[in-house]
Structure 1
Amino acid sequence: MHETTAILIGQPDLEPPLELLPVGSVRAQLGFPSPAEDFEEDGLDLNRILVRNPLATYIYRASGWSMAGAGILDNDLLLCDRSITPRSGDVVLATWDGNQPACKILRLAENHLELHSANPDIPPIVLEPGTEVEVFAIVGVARTMKRGGGARG
């Protein structure tokens, strides 16, 4: 599949119970590990980090690989905040002409807008003036990992 589309899952719980998860006191090294202290910082709630505006936030599931260059993989969860005005260069969710929502990089031109994949082999979608389009900002991506490595999918 060349396009990364998205399927609406729903809104987050508007009043989720506070779920504090322990946070390590040091950052995880992605290279050669260094000895780290064993104590933890205060806990944090992932809802408070990922969901800035619960009433305007929707969760979609990504489908496809055209946005892998932007770190969005097949089956990732996309957090879309409809209260944020997207800017050129933002990762967005766009719908037009009855198409399924597409996850792309928004490029605003003088007289049209373009939706770019994060794959240079896929040409941009050019939406001419007068095209009815809805564009919403993607503010977060969540992914679970499959045991044994690799993204779940």
Structure 2
Amino acid sequence: MSARTLPLSRPVPIAEVPLDLRLKVVSAAGAGFPSPAQDWEETAINLVELLRLDRAASFVFRVSGQSMLDAGIFDNDVVVVDRDATPTNGRIVIAIVDSGFVIRQIVWREGRPVLEARNARMRYDPVVADESVEVWGVVRACVRNMQG
């Protein structure tokens, strides 16, 4: 499959998200041993602060496709992307390839940046990040709706 077969939707600026968007925390959900400090936790989470969505350089994309399953990014996940972050080796990035947005991991191979998919069950051609490819931003966070 080529990189263009898995386009992402258009970037969505999120700097205008209401600053008072808060969710009430009911309790900590144990994924190990209960913490004695559990009773001292704050009672609200500000998603804008938690995901740092109030930055002008932050955008969100909805992922379409299965090219990044092995990186823990699934179809319909939402990723927070920073336009001002440096795309260093191993980072997940949004790039413009063949006039469409794709999500890939950037790795250096033989001194050249290459965009690679992360799904061992499917074949995706790696793309050399040359002058025809724009690395648009770096993925900072991923949000998943567990209800599908």
Structure 2 length as normaliser, TM-score? 0.78
Tell me how many residue pairs correspond in the alignment.
Answer: 143
Consecutive unaligned residues in structure 1, runs of 5 or more: 147-151
What pairs with 1:36-47 in structure 2 (closer than 5 Å)? 39=39, 41-42=41-42, 43-47=44-48
1:11 and 1:54 in contact (8 A); partners too: no
2:115 and 2:127 in contact (8 A); partners too: yes
**Are positions 1:117 and 2:110 aligned together?**
no
RMSD value, Cα:
2.9
Structure 1 length as normaliser, TM-score? 0.76
CA change 1:17–1:129 in 2 (3 A) is closer
What pairs with 1:14-93 in structure 2 (closer than 5 Å)? 14=16, 16-23=18-25, 26=28, 28-29=30-31, 39=39, 41-42=41-42, 43-51=44-52, 54-93=55-94
Query: Residues 95-138 of structure 1, C-alpha deviation per residue, up to 9 Å, x if partnerless?
Result: 1342x111111012355321111113424423264434234100
SS at match of 2:119: coil
1:53 and 1:81 in contact (8 A); partners too: no
Consecutive unaligned residues in structure 2, runs of 5 or more: none
CA change 1:52–1:59 in 2 (3 A) is closer
1:25 and 1:40 in contact (8 A); partners too: no
SS at match of 2:10: strand
Q: Percent identity?
A: 24
Query: Residues 72-107 of structure 1, C-alpha deviation per residue, up to 9 Å, x if partnerless?
Result: 111111111101111010011111342x11111101
1:97 and 1:133 in contact (8 A); partners too: no
Q: Which residue of 1 aligns with 2:104?
A: 104
SS at match of 1:8: coil
CA apart distance, 1:49: 1.2
Q: Which residue of 2 aligns with 1:149?
A: none
1:24 and 1:41 in contact (8 A); partners too: no
2:12 and 2:61 in contact (8 A); partners too: yes
Cα distance in 1 for partners of 2:59, 2:132 equals 24
1:111 and 1:129 in contact (8 A); partners too: no
